[in-house]
Amino acid sequence: MYYVGVDIGGMSIKVGLVTIDGKILKSDAIPTQQDAGFESMVARTADLIRSIAKDCNVAESELGGIGIGIPGTVNSKEGIVSSAVNIGWFNAPIVEEMSKHFNIPVKAGNDANVAALGEQKFGSAKGLDHVVMITIGTGIGSGIIIDGKIYEGNGGAAAESGHQIIILDGELCNCGRCGCWERYASATALIQQTKSAMQANADSLMHNITKERGKVDGRTAFLASDAGDEAGKKVVNQYLRYLSAGLLNLAYVLHPQAFVIGGGVSHEGDNIMKPLQKFVDNSLDTSGMHPYIKVIQAVLGNNAGIIGAAAMVM
């Protein structure tokens, strides 16, 4: 039996055929083309699923189900996308619509939740039941796995941890509130913090690094810090404090077995994981909260979406 994982994004819809042990047999993508509308997007996705299955010589009867990850609020019990701004879906009956094309189980979930499931079933957190994944990108996404299952709260609206407030009355966030975690600890925030440190420190190595690499990005301060630059070190240390503040809030509320860190910034590897682990250990030690929580780098990268989506129907 094979399982279909669909990862719907603002730019492209990715589809993969996944084995029971979480390997992608074949994957492909089409442009999202949201202007064509909901039904057309689903129909084109269904065509891609059939074409990939055919390429792999897999019959429809050998497909165990279709899992779909969506960038928005998904009520998975009802099979309805309540709201997915980036692809223009509101109250979209995704499970019903996809079921018009296939006579196999279909499930849908929020993309960050689905990625967390992928890492928990087949990635860096394999073997753990209780995991919180944080994806650091333009914003901060998060997914919560409890007892090996996605936790989505009432109506699918949970796990929006990027918008927990870490500094009341702090900087204005896109969500309209002030002081949200992602306003301080997303890759976007890191780049802003790097830029203002560069303005304040004309002799920082960060300027040379930017010239070499063509732009300021999430690596700039880390590279400077590695090379001994004081201004770069300050940016990195302050950024890690912001990142750990939100992580610790999640530790106090959820106390999972592990935090899985994904997204672009996570590629810094031990430069991030080690200090974060130290922040978490030290804080939980002070509070007498045992056992400690592991901080782990995500390993599935962009495939987490497809693999996690497929895992929903295994």
Query: What residue ranges bind a copy of itself (CB under 8 A)?
Result: 73, 82-83, 85, 130, 142, 144, 146, 151-155, 157-161, 163-168, 175-177, 241-242, 245, 248-250, 252-257, 283-284, 286-291, 293
d(CA 133, CA 20): 22
Which C-beta is closer to a copy of itself: that of 10 or that of 155? 155
Token duo for residue 63: 């497909």
C-beta separation of 164 from 253 below 8 A: no
Q: In the complex, what is the shortest distance from the CB of residue 34 to a copy of itself, in angstroms, rounded to a whole number?
A: 17
Q: In the complex, what is the shortest distance from the CB of residue 262 to a copy of itself, in angstroms, rounded to a whole number?
A: 18
Q: Which residues, 6+ apart, have CB-to-CB distance to 207 below 8 Å?
A: 198
Which C-beta is closer to a copy of itself: that of 3 or that of 181? 181
The SS3 assignment for 7 reads: strand
Which C-beta is closer to a copy of itself: that of 15 or that of 284? 284
C-beta separation of 134 from 259 below 8 A: yes
Which C-beta is closer to a copy of itself: that of 228 or that of 291? 291
Q: In the complex, what is the shortest distance from the CB of residue 305 to a copy of itself, in angstroms, rounded to a whole number?
A: 22
Which C-beta is closer to a copy of itself: that of 46 or that of 108? 108
Q: In the complex, what is the shortest distance from the CB of residue 279 to a copy of itself, in angstroms, rounded to a whole number?
A: 10
Which C-beta is closer to a copy of itself: that of 99 or that of 283? 283
Q: In the complex, what is the shortest distance from the CB of residue 122 to a copy of itself, in angstroms, rounded to a whole number?
A: 21
What phi-psi label fits residue 158: left (phi over 0), alpha (psi between -120 and 50 degrees) or beta? beta
Token duo for residue 248: 């610790």
Q: In the complex, what is the shortest distance from the CB of residue 134 to a copy of itself, in angstroms, rounded to a whole number?
A: 12
Q: In the complex, what is the shortest distance from the CB of residue 300 to a copy of itself, in angstroms, rounded to a whole number?
A: 22
The helix (run of H) or strand (run of E) holding residue 95 is: helix 94-99
Cis peptide before 291, with omega less than 30 degrees from 0? yes
Strands 2-8 and 63-70: parallel
Which C-beta is closer to a copy of itself: that of 163 or that of 219? 163
Q: Which of 163, 187, 183, 145 is nearest to 249 (CA)?
A: 163
Q: Which residues, 6+ apart, have CB-to-CB distance to 190 below 8 Å?
A: 218, 221, 235, 239, 265
